Amino acid sequence: MSLRDEIKKLREDFVKGHLLESEVNTDPFKQFELWLGQAVESKVSEVQAMTLCTISPENKPASRIVYLREFENNQFWFYGNYNSRKAKNMETNPNVSLSFFWPDLERQIRIEGKVVKCDPSFSDNYFNNRPRESKIGSWSSNQSSELKSREELENLVAEYTKKFEGKEVPRPDFWGGWVLTADYYEFWQGRKSRLHDRIIYSKENSLWKISRLAP
């Protein structure tokens, strides 16, 4: 059987849960915390991994996996290089989305909102608690720029390792965090025969409206 035929015939029926309007929390952030806690308890692999989608100045979407590192009151923090492609996209268009997929629980969460650079104190605190090798890596990688070879990157790592030998590694000015403030959530629970549950929270003025979407 060809690879294409193999992919075509893949099927998974979702039977592990349901999601009803009468059961969800009226506060989407509390519902997020509930599901995140259940994913952690279930030992879901890479539970903090989320797809970040940005839009380029040419109106082209770009997606990549980043890690959720902090969350509070409908706000979600992640970190990276301020010279990267995603950083440049967010600078020109702050409207982004986050997606979590936890197949072990047959669940997805989509979050939309606007993003800004976070307060430097958050970036300093997070950076200072990273492993030393990761700190060196932040200095060594001009993220999203073209490299001539792997050796070029390894040489930069060696250079910064020597530069900071016996010293604390400071946070580079070009590295830090962003915080997304959510104005939309979608909670997806897989159901049998593709008749999935999709509950959304949309913000109207300062209130959250709960609705159901067709699967």
Active-site position among 64, 85, 110, 194: 194
pLDDT tens-place string over residues 74-103? 999 999 999 999 999 999 999 999 999 999
CATH code, domain with 63: 2.30.110.10
**Structural domains counted in the chain:** 1
Domain enclosing residue 30, as ranges: 10-130+173-212
Q: Are 189 and 106 in contact (CB under 8 A)?
A: yes
E strand residue ranges, 163-204:
175-189, 197-204
| pTM to 2 decimal places | 0.92
Neighbouring CB atoms inside 10 A of 77's CB total: 19
Position 168, amino acid: E
For residue 135, the model assigns a pLDDT of 96
pLDDT tens-place string over residues 21-32? 999 999 999 999
In a domain, 118, yes or no: yes
In a domain, 3, yes or no: no
Catalytic-residue membership of 194: yes
